[in-house]
Amino acid sequence: MKYTLMLSISALLLVLSSLFSLVIGEVPFSLADVPSILSDPSSMEHGILTHIRIPRTILAMAIGGSLSLCGVILQGIYRNPLVEPYTLGISGGAAVGVTLAIVTGLAMKGIPLSFFGFAGALVTIFLVYTLSIRNNRMSTGKMLLIGVMISFISSSVVMLLMSLTNAEQLHGIIFWTMGSLNETDNTVVFTLLGISVVMLGVTILFAVPLNAMRLGEAKARHLGINTTVIIRILFIITSLMTGSCIAVAGIIGFVGLIMPHFSRLIIGTDYRVLLPSAFLNGAIFLIWCDILARIIISPNELPIGVITGIFGGITFIIILSSRRVKPRLA
Q: Is residue 106 in a domain? A: yes
pLDDT score at 138: 73
Q: Is residue 31 part of a domain?
A: yes
What's the CA gap between 179 and 246, in Å, rounded?
8
Q: Which of 30, 117, 81 is nearest to 256 (CA)?
A: 81
Give the number of other Cβ atoms within 10 Å of residue 197's Cβ.
15
In a domain, 52, yes or no: yes
Q: H-helix or E-strand containing 1?
A: none
The sign one gets for the Cα dihedral 7, 12, 15, 18 is negative
Q: Is residue 109 part of a domain?
A: yes
Residue 328 domain-assigned? no
Interval 12-58: pLDDT, tens:
999 999 999 988 877 778 878 788 888 878 888 888 888 889 999 99
SS3 133: strand
Could you tell me the maximum CA-CA distance found in the chain, to the nearest angstrom?
65
Question: What pLDDT is attached to residue 104?
Answer: 84
Mean pLDDT, consecutive 10-residue stretches, the chain (330 aa), reads 86 94 82 81 83 92 95 89 85 89 78 85 89 76 87 90 84 84 86 93 93 84 85 90 90 89 89 95 94 85 87 77 61
User: What is the pLDDT, as a whole number, of residue 215?
Assistant: 82
- Residue 325 pLDDT: 57
Residue 329 belongs to some domain of the structure: no
Q: Which domain holds residue 138?
A: 2-323
Is the C-alpha dihedral spanning 104, 105, 111, 112 positive or negative?
positive
pLDDT, position 247: 87
User: Residue 289 has what pLDDT?
Assistant: 93
What pLDDT was estimated at residue 291? 92
CATH of the domain at 144: 1.10.3470.10
- pLDDT score recorded for residue 72: 94
Residue 330 lies in a domain: no
pLDDT value of residue 326 = 57
Cβ proximity of 62 and 196 under 8 Å = yes
Q: For residue 20, is it within any domain?
A: yes
For the chain, what is the domain count?
Answer: 1
| Ranges of H-type helices in 205-326 | 207-213, 217-222, 227-249, 255-267, 271-295, 304-323
